[in-house]
Amino acid sequence: MLPTSRYKDTTTSRGFNYHYYYIPAQGSKQTLLFCHGFPSTSQDWHRVVPHFEQQGYGIIVPDTLGYGGTDKPLDPAAYKGTLLAKDMIDIVDAEKLDKIIAIGHDWGSFIVARLASVAPERILAYAFLALAYIPPNPDFNFEASLKATKEVFGYEIFGYQAFLADDGAAALVENNWDTLFGVIWPHNPELWKTHVAPFVGLKETIEEGELRPLPSYLSEKDKKVMSKALLDGGLAAPTCYYKVQVRGLDLEDELTIPKDRYLPPTSSPIFFGATLKDYICIADMQKGLFTDPKFKDHSLTIHDYDADHWVLLSHAKELNKDLDEWLANIIPTL
């Protein structure tokens, strides 16, 4: 795991304490910012970060808002996209860095996407894992998205978000953690089609109480460490990400983003890691986001992984190699 001795704390401009892993860059090496998703902490990058640390890259890996050693506000409004992105820039400023390369997974990808809207001049390149670049959408309608995905895929791929946005969800999850763990990190990825994604799937799965085996990429020790990190702080704060999404709390926030910042600059290379056995961040749909003509002038690098959603845990060696090659190719051009 990432050694606790290398963690630091800083207070952002909106008054939140952020806990983050930090290693300064060696020589002229760039600094990489890694943003995790739900339900995770900075420690989920422990199979990726050491590889780049050994090569002299600077490393920043925060516990994002609501997780680990970072503050855990319970007001969902604190989790709007541009605010989370500004927090990342505050951390970068605390380390007196000018520009960085941002890498995100799951909700971390969303935060990285909003960095393109908030501070594109500070981001040299963007990497997204599982979840592709999500442009601002002040017209987003959650109910309509459920209907549309059910028509296309046969199930509401984001239906679980409605459950997690409920005020009682955090307590139910905490009280049935072992059941949840077995489906969030699935031994059989196809469980997500029936037991997680559909509108009532995750809640019914938790209430059934069935315990399932771990996936091959996690040990019982891994589960113990991950569970402690998440349960010690509780799940009430992390579920706020879903309250913002489902309740449309970020629509006004999205309206503040200028249209000329709806995409990363064409000068910033983009990496996307598609997860082929991910039945929520469906690979073809995610890759399709980059076929938009608006991306025709961007430098895009896309890799497929025979992985479920948790590619940074299950396919770290392959991912590290591909990110290595991407960084080696793009850095001379930045």
β 58-62/123-129 pair status: unpaired
Tell me what pLDDT residue 73 has: 98
The one-character DSSP state at 214 is: P
β 58-62/17-23 pair status: antiparallel
82: confidence class by pLDDT, cuts 50, 70, 90:
very high
pLDDT in tens, 227-264: 999 999 999 999 999 999 999 999 999 999 999 999 99
Q: What is the mean pLDDT of the chain?
A: 97
What is the rounded CA–CA span in Å between residue 236 and residue 218?
Answer: 25
Q: Specify the 3-state DSSP secondary structure of 133.
A: coil
pLDDT in tens, 6-25: 999 999 999 999 999 999 99
148: confidence class by pLDDT, cuts 50, 70, 90:
very high
pLDDT in tens, 21-79: 999 999 999 999 999 999 999 999 999 999 999 999 999 999 999 999 999 999 999 99
Q: Where are the alpha helices (DSSP H) in 154-196?
A: 160-164, 169-175, 177-184, 191
Pick the CATH number of 4-137+252-333 from 3.40.30.10, 3.30.1360.10, 3.40.50.2300, 3.40.50.1820: 3.40.50.1820
Angle between helices 177-184 and 201-208 (to 10 degrees): 130
Q: For the full predicted model, state whether its pTM sits above 0.85.
A: yes
The structural domains of the chain, with segments of one domain joined by +, span 4-137+252-333, 142-246
Mean pLDDT for the stretch of residues 177-189: 98
